[in-house]
């Protein structure tokens, strides 16, 4: 029967993996179609730009040839007009000279030449001067060789047109990836010769992009309901540190890709990093009727206000307090887990092994709170934390006087330290260690050393004011110093 259950479980997991794989293939096919249409549109746009640029350049070159042709034509036409005028003058003078040579009488010869000269001066007729002033050198030639073109190089360049080189996928260095203090450091190696630089036209890397998402599976396939990829862009180095993470899943999947100026390459093979941490919430069903549980916050909201709690007798209630019963507990509901002056609420997750850490912050208007751990069954309905053998806590109070103390089994130890604003709680179930830390000052407030015999739950009491908790935290690295010191002191005392 056990073997059959194992087979069924294996087949169920395999079936789920196949469904997720088929969904991934289907999504990839859709993405491929969209991406192909996109790059085809971009190609057509680039070709149109090339055609437009070629037409513009052709028009510019044609205009230059036409302009030079017109200039030369104007100069030659001017020379042609001047030459014709000079030729006409020359022919007239030549005819007059020939006629004059036929005159034999000297007196008549002088009379004709004198009359010719006088007529020319009065009419400004053509003389020999234009013919002698006219240059017979052409003002322009028919040569237009300066406009000779040879686009063989450009043609060769066009024939070499191809798609831009895309950076290859980098390789994530799993041995250098570290999850510590709710911070993840990821390192990778560029593929081949790829490396970040400023060469925008090459396939070399300009920057990197990192994507990560949380999952509760130890593989890279995404299942329905899991988180989408979160992105970090424009990374210039071959590593990145992701900070301020809440580890509320068992794993984080990380992948990297390289990008040049125009294109991004393929993603690297995903790397799965374990991110186990203690995650819990307030168990609203366990809360005292006068405690209001809201996400990671608990506030005290008294139902009767004045006279309900002996400590408030004769005191005027704060105007901001409401006398309306808490929405968590209304008339007609089942009996509350805690009642009377046990203003307690428990966590909804148990600890029965390993190490756990979480933090507490008192809200601005608090008067009294306790934080610690307890055996669930050890707390009676009217019991307060630290007053039984099955509960351990740190208690802070600003009522009448300021006090800080550690409580267990109805015994209290006063602690000479200012009230902290951020308290770290560390529980090592297997070794029986329970430590309370002033996180802001990195000070060990108190430690309990015992042997836990039953599952523990986080436990809290709030009276006047409220508290908030932070979970999903790894055990901080600074705890190592407190643990070594605490165990050394324990050995000395023994």
Q: What is the pLDDT of residue 462?
A: 95
Q: What is the pLDDT of residue 6?
A: 85
Average pLDDT of the residues in 154-174 = 88
* Poorest-pLDDT segment among 131-140, 159-168, 197-206, 217-226: 197-206
Average pLDDT of the residues in 51-56 = 93
Q: What is the pLDDT of residue 326?
A: 42
Share of the chain above pLDDT 70, in %: 84
The confidence band for 209, taking pLDDT boundaries of 50, 70 and 90, is very high
The confidence band for 262, taking pLDDT boundaries of 50, 70 and 90, is confident
Q: Which of 57-71, 306-320, 323-337 has the highest mean pLDDT?
A: 57-71
pLDDT digit string, tens, across residues 439-452:
999 999 999 999 99
Q: Is 372 a residue whose pLDDT tops 50?
A: yes
Q: What is the pLDDT of residue 225?
A: 57
Q: What is the pLDDT of residue 429?
A: 96
Closest CA to 424 of 485, 342, 355: 355
Q: Is 194 a residue whose pLDDT tops 70?
A: no
Gap between the Cα atoms of 86 and 209, Å rounded:
83
Q: Which domains does the chain have, with CATH numbers?
A: 1-160 (no CATH), 171-191+206-221+228-274 (2.60.40.10), 282-302+337-492 (2.60.120.920)
Q: What is the pLDDT of residue 144?
A: 86
* Poorest-pLDDT segment among 15-19, 324-328, 393-397: 324-328
Other CB atoms within 10 A of residue 460 CB? 23
* Poorest-pLDDT segment among 213-217, 322-326, 424-428: 322-326
Q: What is the pLDDT of residue 142?
A: 87
Average pLDDT of the residues in 290-316 = 72
Average pLDDT of the residues in 133-144 = 82
Q: Is 314 a residue whose pLDDT tops 90?
A: no
Average pLDDT of the residues in 99-104 = 79
Q: What is the pLDDT of residue 91?
A: 83
Q: What is the pLDDT of residue 427?
A: 97
């Amino acid at each position: 029967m056990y073997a059959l259950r194992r087979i069924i479980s294996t087949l169920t997991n395999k079936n789920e993996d196949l469904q997720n794989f088929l969904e991934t293939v289907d999504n990839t096919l859709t993405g491929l179609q969209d991406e192909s249409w996109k790059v085809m549109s971009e190609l057509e746009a680039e070709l149109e730009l090339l055609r437009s640029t070629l037409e513009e350049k052709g028009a510019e070159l044609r205009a230059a040839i036409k302009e030079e042709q017109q200039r030369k034509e104007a100069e030659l036409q001017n020379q042609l007009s001047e030459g014709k005028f000079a030729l006409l003058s020359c022919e007239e003078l030549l005819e007059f000279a020939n006629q004059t040579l036929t005159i034999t009488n000297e007196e008549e010869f002088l009379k004709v030449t004198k009359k010719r000269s006088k007529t020319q001066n009065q009419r400004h007729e053509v003389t020999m001067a234009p013919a002698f002033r006219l240059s017979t050198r052409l003002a322009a030639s028919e040569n237009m060789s300066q406009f000779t073109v040879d686009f063989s190089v450009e043609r060769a360049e066009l024939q070499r047109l191809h798609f831009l080189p895309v950076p290859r996928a980098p390789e994530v260095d799993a041995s250098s990836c570290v999850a510590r203090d709710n911070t993840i450091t990821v390192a990778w190696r560029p593929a081949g010769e790829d490396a970040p630089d400023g060469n925008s036209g090459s396939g070399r890397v300009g920057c990197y992009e990192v994507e990560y998402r949380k999952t509760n599976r130890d593989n890279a396939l995404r299942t329905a309901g899991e988180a989408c990829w979160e992105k970090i862009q424009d990374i210039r180095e071959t590593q990145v540190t992701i900070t301020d993470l809440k580890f509320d899943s068992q794993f984080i999947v990380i992948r990297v890709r390289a990008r040049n100026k125009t294109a991004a390459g393929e993603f690297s093979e995903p790397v799965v990093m374990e991110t186990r941490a203690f995650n819990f919430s307030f168990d609203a069903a366990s809360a005292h009727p006068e405690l209001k549980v809201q996400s990671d916050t608990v506030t005290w909201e008294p139902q009767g206000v004045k006279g309900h709690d002996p400590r408030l007798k004769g005191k005027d209630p704060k105007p901001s307090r409401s006398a309306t019963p808490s929405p968590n507990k209304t008339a007609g509901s089942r009996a509350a887990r805690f009642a009377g002056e046990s203003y307690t609420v428990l966590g909804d997750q148990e600890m029965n092994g390993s190490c756990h850490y979480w933090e507490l912050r008192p809200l601005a208007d608090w008067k009294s709170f306790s934080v610690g751990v307890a055996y669930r069954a050890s707390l009676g309905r009217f019991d307060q934390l630290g007053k039984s053998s099955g509960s351990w806590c740190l208690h802070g109070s600003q009522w009448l006087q300021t006090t800080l103390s550690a409580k267990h089994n109805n015994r209290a130890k006063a602690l000479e330290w200012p009230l902290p604003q951020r308290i770290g709680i560390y529980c090592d179930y297997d070794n029986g260690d329970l430590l309370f830390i002033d996180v802001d000052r990195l000070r060990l407030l108190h430690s309990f050393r015992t042997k836990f015999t039953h599952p523990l739950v986080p436990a809290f009491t709030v009276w006047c004011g409220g508290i908030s908790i932070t979970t999903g935290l790894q055990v901080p690295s600074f705890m190592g110093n407190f643990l070594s010191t605490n165990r050394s002191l324990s050995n000395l005392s023994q």
